[in-house]
Every structure is written in structure tokens, then in C-alpha cells.
Amino acid sequence: MPFLVVIIVLSLSFYIYYKVKYVRSSLPMERKTLSGKSSIALGLFVGLFGVNQLFLYHSTTTYIVAALFIIVGALSIWAGFKSYRFYLPYAIKEMEEVEKQG
């Protein structure tokens, strides 16, 4: 499935992008939101990798491993979304304080 491969590569690219941005950031709440976004991207990568394996190989082992990848990816997406949603208001407040200070 070429479509899945494109999305897998994009999600891995976003994961790397957010991790680099995380390392370069000095604001703690911004780092937490970036960590949440990177967790979502990594979860999407792992989950879609598992879905892609279902189309490529047809064995019992593949189904078990793909199911584990999909579950781990979904849990990572869920945890990242919860983290991002929790820390976003604090990051906005932090950015407003930084802008006020000049």
C-alpha cells in the first residue's frame, strides 16, 4: 500500500521534527506540548506500520505482531493527545508571559 507508506514516512518525519524542536526549546510547558505532539506522531508511525504489515504478510505471527504494534501505537496516540491537551493552556500562558517580558 503506497498510500500507507507515505503516511508512515510523514509521521516519522513529524516525530523527528517535534523532537528536534523539543531539544531546541527552553520553555518547560512548550517542551511538554512538543513531547505530546511527538508521542502522537510516533504512535501514528507504529500503528500504521502494524497496519501495513497486515497487507504485506499473511501469517499468524504477523497478525500477532501487527496487533501489538497497532495497540501500542493507539495507546501512544491517546497518551500524547491527553498530554498535549492538558499542557496546552499552560504553554499559551507561558508564551504570553514571555512576550510581555520582551
pTM of the full predicted structure? Answer: 0.91
pLDDT in tens, 22-59: 999 999 999 999 999 999 999 999 999 999 999 998 89
Can you tell me the distance from the alpha carbon of 83 to that of 26, in angstroms, rounded to the nearest whole number? 18
Bin 12: left if φ > 0, else alpha if -120 < ψ < 50, else beta.
Answer: alpha
Query: How many CB atoms are located within 10 Å of the residue 23 CB?
Result: 9
Q: Please state the separation of Cα 72 from the chain's center in Å.
A: 12
pLDDT band at residue 101 using 50, 70 and 90 as cut-offs: confident
